[in-house]
Amino acid sequence: MKLFRIVHPLNGVQRLLLTVWVGAMWAIGYVAAPVLFAAIESRMQAGAIAGTLFSIVSWIGLLCGGLILLVQWRARHRGLSRVALSCIIAMLIITGVGQFGLQPMMADIKAQFPAGVEMSGELRSRFGALHGISSTLFLIASMLGALAVWRSAPTDL
């Protein structure tokens, strides 16, 4: 039985980057956002703050995911299982779709209403549909992140 094993330092870097990304997703998506909506009376104000936090998490994800792929390339595809790497690639795609596809469409709809005025009619329905898609994609990405963290753990503990 080995008490210590030699691990390439880049393996730890990859796991740390993944943990930062997934931890940010879970902290904002499942702790901060619900607290905002519970604590702030104005749903529009809570939504605006939550939207900013989700955008920050997206940028963290794009940065961490990109760095993970760079480390994978540099380490000649060692350090992460295929499952973990597949999850990370899927998470990057989902994050990109959300940040560069869905979020700009949602921002365009919000921009059509003056501050403090609630949305109504077709635009409210369209915003709700986009928000639902965005929320579902976030849920999928956060579950993929949990699986990636799980599958990136050292196997000989």
Query: Does some domain include residue 157?
Result: no
Please count the structural domains in the chain.
1
Alpha helices in the chain (DSSP H): 9-27, 33-39, 43-74, 82-97, 103-111, 121-152
How far is CA 72 from each of CA 10, 54, 79, 89, 103, rounded to the nearest angstrom?
A: 8, 26, 7, 12, 29
Q: Look at 148 and 153; give whichever has higher pLDDT.
A: 148
Predicted confidence (pLDDT) at residue 157 exceeds the cutoff of 50:
no
Query: Does some domain include residue 53?
Result: yes
0.75 exceeded by the pTM?
Answer: yes
Residue 31 CA to residue 49 CA, distance in Å, equals: 13
Domain holding 110, by residue range, is 10-152
Predicted confidence (pLDDT) at residue 156 exceeds the cutoff of 60:
no
Residue 130 CA to residue 115 CA, distance in Å, equals: 20
The confidence band for 116, taking pLDDT boundaries of 50, 70 and 90, is: low
Query: Does some domain include residue 23?
Result: yes
Query: Does some domain include residue 77?
Result: yes
Q: In angstroms, how far is CA 10 from the centroid of its own chain?
A: 22
Q: What is the pLDDT of residues 57-75, one digit of tens each?
A: 999 999 999 999 998 888 7
